[in-house]
Structure 1
């Protein structure tokens, strides 16, 4: 584009100039574009302000020439000796072709120069004919260049959409071979683009319906789109590279040739895993909460009804056991409701902390004594280093975290549980680990165990009371302290839950003597 404008200005005997695209030639975004040739960008506003008042050429008079005043020439940054000695002309040339106006070429030249289109002073018609021919050729070349620029920009925009889309995009040819595979699709399936190009897309994705039946060619969403059917948000199950299967919603578009024949199929693949998990969480929440609420209520009602019978006579020991059971179930019910309210506050960002200096050693030993009194059969050991640094934390909240993790270690360890509470110190934080030798957690479950209402799918876990809120609350508390919480576990070999808290005083750096 710049080369074309520069050559045109040189043929017109100009020294510098600017080509301004017409608003009528392209869309409004392109109308503000211009191409410079040996003209300072800062001078463009002065030049355009000057020419737009009086130098607007037309098809009848395509070339206008005018000597510009010295003060305007100086504003354009032209040399003083040139302005005073020879004078400067400003010329405007209207460019148009059969498609309509294209733009205006403004250029500056010495007043003593004339182009080959202005030399026939005795034959004005020859001048005009040559100028019209030149204008038409230049307009055609510039229009082609502008269209090429527009196509390059459009290609860049489409490439950016393809590259940075969060949805998987897969393109196939009319033989259903993969020709494009965007980064989101790579992340979704684990395949790299260079590995799947030219492959049959069904072989790569291995699609199935929700019932697990293979979707072959006769059920191909792409072929259905090629046949003119609408394929929008069709649910199917596809396979990742490692064999993991997940549900997606696929929308297929068909790109056709001028004769209406299918050329390409574009598949937009949306991963439904998160939506299905949320739906499953809602169903789990309803079922778990219903069960967890109904069980203590039923027990309380049953014992209360029994004790309220007028014809029943109970000895003191029986009466006491029934009342203790009612109290325990009421406590269980109160804890469940409290956890639900707690989770709601966390979701609403209403979790408040009273951060003070906390003696973690003293708190851990107090929790261990409480656990031994409540569960005499549990063996608990402490591995706390002497002079454990103080941490900055809310005592009540950290007590809840420890209580929750210790209760879980007891609940999910069949037989006689053996638990170890260990502490480790770094320069920035104190790490507390609760170690058990219980049922353990699979790798897949470890990724979701801190989610709301998530419960491990092992039979022992499912039979153990709980709503799946304890670890979610622990995570929220620890992260509100600026710490982190994680799990390391091997299935049926035990688990280690660890969390960190910031030290009150950071460890001093060692002194280095040179």
Structure 2
């Protein structure tokens, strides 16, 4: 009997162990599933961090960097091995080192720093503008154990804002100058109504100044409309030679220093937006006048090649260097040399020309050599 009892106890022991093993296996499977989920979430998080356009950096409470993503390398120029274990002060200009203790103090309190705009140093020593968002990293007990920083490079944004401010200031000045002259001519003309010769000259100068201001305001408004997507192309068949004649007549009001010669067809129909093409031609002739400060002939031509019409504006002015030709059609770009620094303008005329022609499915072609003048040309479909 005792042997039977022992066997029964052993069987019960085996059954108990089997039950425990089943429970252990179930817990193990749950643990494996949990670990798999953690790994998957970690992989997703790492993928997001590495594919982010922003620099994502973590550091401890002593400002020592503990992680460094791919965009941090792209923005700051340092490889992870060069920065992990280093102080974040390596990226902070000396005159801004006092920012770090202030940031740490705020984060130690569990507070987040949002969109803090400052400057940081790249590996090559250049300064860049960044927007920082810094969050505390907490353990399971709510204690701050580290910091996570997202740095966004806003250098281009800052430069654009600076250019915009300069642009507004420049436009204000450029509009004020012809307006002041216009008022002066009108005031003096009003006092000398008996002197017909002076009156005619004064009114002629007033017209020139008014035309300059009109052109600047037109370009300014067109730029705003293009950027807001409010400009559309309305094609129609018209005689482009008549448009060229009108643009030349308007240009001669602005400057009598230049002879503007027309060469080519007496009549030529094109299919395009007449108002926008007039703006293109006006800008090209105006540029030829401005960048030929010593005068000289300007030649406007119109020729037909099969189903396309070629329009050119050529001058014998200052010419444009190869380096400047690459940037010439960018917004706000101006050729800056000793000879051009006194030439008025705010760098949007050729940008508008290029944009209008692109909308027409065309493009501006430039041939120029420094000191030997410039030739701008484009093509439109024949009407």
| Alpha-carbon shift at residue 477 of structure 1 (Å) | 1.3
**Do the aligned partners of 1:178 and 1:196 also contact (CA within 8 Å) in 2?**
no
Distance 1:194 1:272, change over 3 A: closer
**Aligned residue among 336, 341, 345 for 2:216:** 336
Listed as ranges, the gaps of 5+ residues in structure 1 are 1-119, 506-514
| Alpha-carbon shift at residue 186 of structure 1 (Å) | 4.0
**Do the aligned partners of 2:73 and 2:80 also contact (CA within 8 Å) in 1?**
no
Q: Which residue of 2 aligns with 1:76?
A: none
| Alpha-carbon shift at residue 333 of structure 1 (Å) | 3.1
**Aligned residue among 10, 31, 43 for 1:156:** 43
Q: Which residue of 1 aligns with 2:79?
A: 193
Aligned mates of 1:222, 1:428 — CA distance in 2: 69
| Alpha-carbon shift at residue 267 of structure 1 (Å) | 2.9
| Alpha-carbon shift at residue 454 of structure 1 (Å) | 6.1
Listed as ranges, the gaps of 5+ residues in structure 2 are 1-6
3-state SS, counterpart of residue 150 of structure 1: helix
Q: Which residue of 1 aligns with 2:3?
A: none
**Aligned residue among 236, 249, 259 for 2:131:** 249
3-state SS, counterpart of residue 108 of structure 2: coil
**Do the aligned partners of 2:130 and 2:152 also contact (CA within 8 Å) in 1?**
yes
Aligned mates of 2:328, 2:65 — CA distance in 1: 34
Greater radius of gyration (CA): 1
Correspondences of 1:387-426 after superposition (within 5 Å): 392-416=271-295
Distance 1:270 1:435, change over 3 A: farther
Q: Which residue of 1 aligns with 2:4?
A: none
Aligned mates of 1:489, 1:264 — CA distance in 2: 59
| Alpha-carbon shift at residue 175 of structure 1 (Å) | 7.6
Q: Which residue of 1 aligns with 2:318?
A: 438
Deviation readout 1:409-460 (Å, 9 max, x if unpaired): 3213433457677999999988877666537479699658633x66566676
Distance 1:323 1:156, change over 3 A: same
| Alpha-carbon shift at residue 203 of structure 1 (Å) | 8.2
TM-score (norm 2): 0.70
Q: Which residue of 2 aligns with 1:511?
A: none
Q: Which residue of 1 aligns with 2:162?
A: 280
2:55 maps to 1:168: yes
Q: Which residue of 2 aligns with 1:477?
A: 356
Aligned mates of 2:198, 2:303 — CA distance in 1: 48
Q: Which residue of 2 aligns with 1:133?
A: 20
Distance 1:253 1:484, change over 3 A: farther
After superposition, the CA RMSD in angstroms is: 5.2
**Do the aligned partners of 2:319 and 2:368 also contact (CA within 8 Å) in 1?**
no
2:200 maps to 1:320: yes
Correspondences of 1:183-332 after superposition (within 5 Å): 183-189=70-76, 191=77, 193=79, 196-198=82-84, 200=86, 205=91, 207-208=92-93, 214-216=95-97, 220=100, 224=104, 228=108, 231-240=113-122, 243-253=125-135, 255=137, 265-309=147-191, 312=192, 314-332=194-212
Q: Which residue of 2 aligns with 1:509?
A: none
| Alpha-carbon shift at residue 466 of structure 1 (Å) | 3.7
3-state SS, counterpart of residue 414 of structure 1: coil
Q: Which residue of 1 aligns with 2:31?
A: 144
Aligned mates of 2:134, 2:63 — CA distance in 1: 12
| Alpha-carbon shift at residue 193 of structure 1 (Å) | 3.5
Q: Which residue of 1 aligns with 2:234?
A: 354
Aligned residues: 371
3-state SS, counterpart of residue 119 of structure 2: strand
| Alpha-carbon shift at residue 148 of structure 1 (Å) | 1.4
**Do the aligned partners of 2:107 and 2:147 also contact (CA within 8 Å) in 1?**
no
Aligned mates of 1:277, 1:126 — CA distance in 2: 79
3-state SS, counterpart of residue 349 of structure 1: coil
Aligned mates of 1:350, 1:254 — CA distance in 2: 45
Q: Which has the higher helix share?
A: 2
Aligned mates of 1:285, 1:165 — CA distance in 2: 33
3-state SS, counterpart of residue 230 of structure 2: coil
Distance 1:479 1:365, change over 3 A: closer
Aligned mates of 1:428, 1:194 — CA distance in 2: 59
Aligned mates of 1:320, 1:445 — CA distance in 2: 41
